[in-house]
Amino acid sequence: MTNDLVQKLKSKNANIGIVGLGYVGLPLALRYADEGFKVTGFDIDNSKVAMIAEGKSYIEHIPSEGIAKAVKNGFVATTHFENIKDVDAIILCVPTPLNKYREPDLSFVLDTTDSIVPHLRSGQVVSLESTTYPGTTDEELKPRIESSGLKIGENVFLVFSPEREDPGNPNFSTKTIPKVVGGYSKNCLEVGVALYNGVIDKVVPVTSTKAAEMTKLLENIHRSVNIGLVNEMKMVCDKMGIDIHEVIDAAATKPFGFVAYRPGPGIGGHCIPIDPFYLTWKAREYGMHTRFIELAGEINSYMPNFVMKKIAVALNDREKSVKGSKVLVLGISYKKNIDDMRESPSVFLMEKLRHDGAVLDYHDPHVPVFPKMREHNFDLKSVELTAESLQKYDCVVLATDHDKFDYDLIVQNSKLLIDTRGKFRQEAPNLVKA
C-alpha cells in the first residue's frame, strides 16, 4: 500500500485534495496544478468556489491568471466533502485561532476532520498544515481517522507539515520555501515526503509529527520574542528621547550576532500573535510555565495601548481630546503591501480609538472595503487620500507602511501625524513618533 501511493505521487498521477482555500491552501493548490497534478479544492465558502470556477482571485497577491490557468488544466473547487473519496491526498489548511481565553481553538481542524472521516478510504494520505501544539496530529487526528476502521501507517497515512507562507513576499514562494514533514510512522513519513517532493524544491523530514509541530512553533516564537524585545526597546528609547530606528540601523552594521527586527503598533497575521500561546497552553500540561514566551506576548499585545497614549497626549497638546476628534488610520492590513487583515494591530488600534470616541476613517490601497471579521465590525470604506482630505483630519495615524503611500503628501498635509512604523526620520512640528 505504501509503495503504491508513493509511486502514484512520484509519477504525478495522484489526485490532490486541498481543504481550505485561503492564504495557505489556494497557493498550494496552484502549485500542485502547475506541476500537472489533478487538484480538487474543498471549502465551505460558496463565494470562493464560485470565483475559482470563474478563474478569478479573491486574494490580492495571487493573480487571477494563475487561477484561470489552473482551472483550464483541471483544478476544480467544491463545497461537497463527499468528493474526498476521489482524492489520494487530503491536505488540511484551515484556521487555528485562539479563543477569548487565549487558549487553542481547534474547532476548525476537528470539525474538518470529522467531515472528511466518513469519506476516507484505503490508500490515502492526510496531511495537516495548520499550526498547532505538539501532539495534535497524533492525539486528535489519528483516533478520528482510525474510527473509520482504517489503520494509520498500514492502509492510510498521516503526516504533519507546517505551512510557511509569507503573503506578499517577493523573494520566496510556495515552491522555494523548504517544507518540513513529520509522519506518524516510518511509512507515513515516506508517503509525506513523496507528497511534497514533486512540488517543493526542498523537503526536510523530521522524526515525528510532534517534532514538525514544534518546529513551526519555534520559528514563530523566535520572531515573537525578538519583536517583543525591540518593541520594549522602542518604549525605553522613547522615554530617553532616542530614535530606535536610528539605533537599529547602526546595530545592523555589525556583520555577525545581530538580526534587525523592527518595532510597530503591535504584531499581526495568523502566526506570530497566536502560535506562541499554543505552546504555553500545552506546556502547562507538563508543569512548565513559559515565562519568556508569555512576556513577549504581553509586550506585543500592549503596543496598541502605547500608540493610543501617544495619540491622546499629542491631541491634548493641541487642546483636543480623542473623543470627537476626526482620525484617519493609514493602512489596516497586518503588514505592508498585502490585503491580509488577520490579527492586524491596526484594527485593535481602531477599536481603541472608537471606544474613546474618535470619529474614524481609514485609507488602504489594498483593502478598499473593511471586510467581515469574526471579532471586529467596522462599516467603513477606504477614503481617498488627497491633500484636501488629509487636511480635514485632526490626527493621521500611519499604522501600516504600504509602499503605495505618497509619504511627502502625507507629512506635508497632516495637522498631526502619528508615525508607528519609523517611516519619517525627520523632525517636524506636526510629527509624533510612536
What would the DSSP string read from start to end of 317-334? HTT--STT-EEEEE--SS
Contact yes or no for 124/14 (Cβ under 8 A):
no
The set of residues, in sequence order, having a beta carbon less than 8 Å from that of 231 and lying 6+ positions away, is 263, 264, 299, 300, 303
Contact yes or no for 194/263 (Cβ under 8 A):
no
Which helix (DSSP H) or strand (DSSP E) does residue 158 occupy?
strand 156-160
The set of residues, in sequence order, having a beta carbon less than 8 Å from that of 344 and lying 6+ positions away, is 268, 332, 333, 334, 400
Buried b (16+ CB within 10 A) or exposed e, 325-363: bebbbbbbbbbbbbbbbbbbbbbbbbbbbeebebebbbb
Tracing cell 506546556 back to the chain, one arrives at: 283
Is residue 319 exposed (0-12), middle (13-18) or buried (19+ Cβ within 10 Å)? exposed
Buried b (16+ CB within 10 A) or exposed e, 25-36: bbbbbbbbbbee
Distance CA 333, CA 359 (A): 20
Distance CA 334, CA 99 (A): 20
Q: Residue 127: beta bridge partners?
A: 91, 159
Q: Which amino acid type is present at position 211?
A: A
Q: Which amino acid type is present at position 221?
A: I
Distance CA 1, CA 48 (A): 35
Tracing cell 520574542 back to the chain, one arrives at: 225
| Most distant pair of Cα atoms in the chain: their distance | 75
Q: Say whether 53 sits in a helix, a strand or coil.
A: helix
Contact yes or no for 39/33 (Cβ under 8 A):
yes
Is residue 140 exposed (0-12), middle (13-18) or buried (19+ Cβ within 10 Å)? middle
Contact yes or no for 361/378 (Cβ under 8 A):
no
The residues annotated with a catalytic role in the active site are 271
Which helix (DSSP H) or strand (DSSP E) does residue 346 occupy?
helix 345-355
